[in-house]
Structure 1
Amino acid sequence: MKTIHNKWIGIALVIVTFLGPNLYGQGVRASLFDEADKSMLLAKSAQAEVLSPRTFNKAMDEYNAAKKEYDAGEELSEIREKIANATDKFQEATENTKVSAVMFSSVLSARKDAINAEAHLFVKEMWVNAEEEMKEAAEELEKGDADDAKEKANEATALYRKAELESIKANYLTNAKKLLQKADDSKVDKVSPKTIAEAKGLVKGAEKELLENRYDTDDARHLAKEAEYKALLAMHIAKEEKSLDERDFETEDYLLMNYQTLTKIGETLDMNLKFDQGTDRPVSEITARIENDQLRIANLESSVYNEQITNGNLKALLGEQQKIIQTMEGKLSDEALKGQKRQQALQSRIDRMAEVSSKFEEVQQIFDQEEALVFRQKNDVIIRMVGVNFDVGKSQIKQEDYALLTKVQEAMNLFKDASISIEGHTDSQGGDEANLKLSKERADAVLTYLNANTTMDKARFSTSGFGESKPIANNETAAGRKLNRHIDVVIKPKLPELLTRLPATNSGE
Structure 2
Amino acid sequence: MRSIQTSLFSLCLCLFSSFNPSAFADTNKTALFKEASQALNAANAAQANILAPKGYALGSEHYQKAEVLYAKQKQKERITKELTRATDALKLAAKNAELARLTFAATLKARNDAKGVDSQRLAGDLWQDGEESLLYAATKLEDGNLKRAKSKATDAEKQYRAAELSAIQSSYLDEARKLIKQARKEKVDRHAPKTLLNAETLLADAEKELAENRYDVDYPRSLAKQARYEAKHSLYLAEMVKQLDRGKLTTEEFLLDIEKPLINIATALDMVASFDQGFDVVATSLVQNIESLRADAYELGERKKELSQLESDISTLEKRMGIQSQRIAEQEAQKESLRQVSELFKRNEAVVMTEGRNILIRAVGLTFNPGSSHINSNNFALLQKLKQAAALYPGYSLLIEGHTDAFGGDSANLNLSFARAESVKEYLRTNIDSSTQIDAIGYGETRPIANNETKEGRARNRRIDLVLRPPL
Question: What TM-score bracket applies, with the shorter chain setting the length?
Answer: 0.3 to 0.5
Which has the greater radius of gyration?
1
- TM-score w.r.t. the length of structure 2 is 0.41
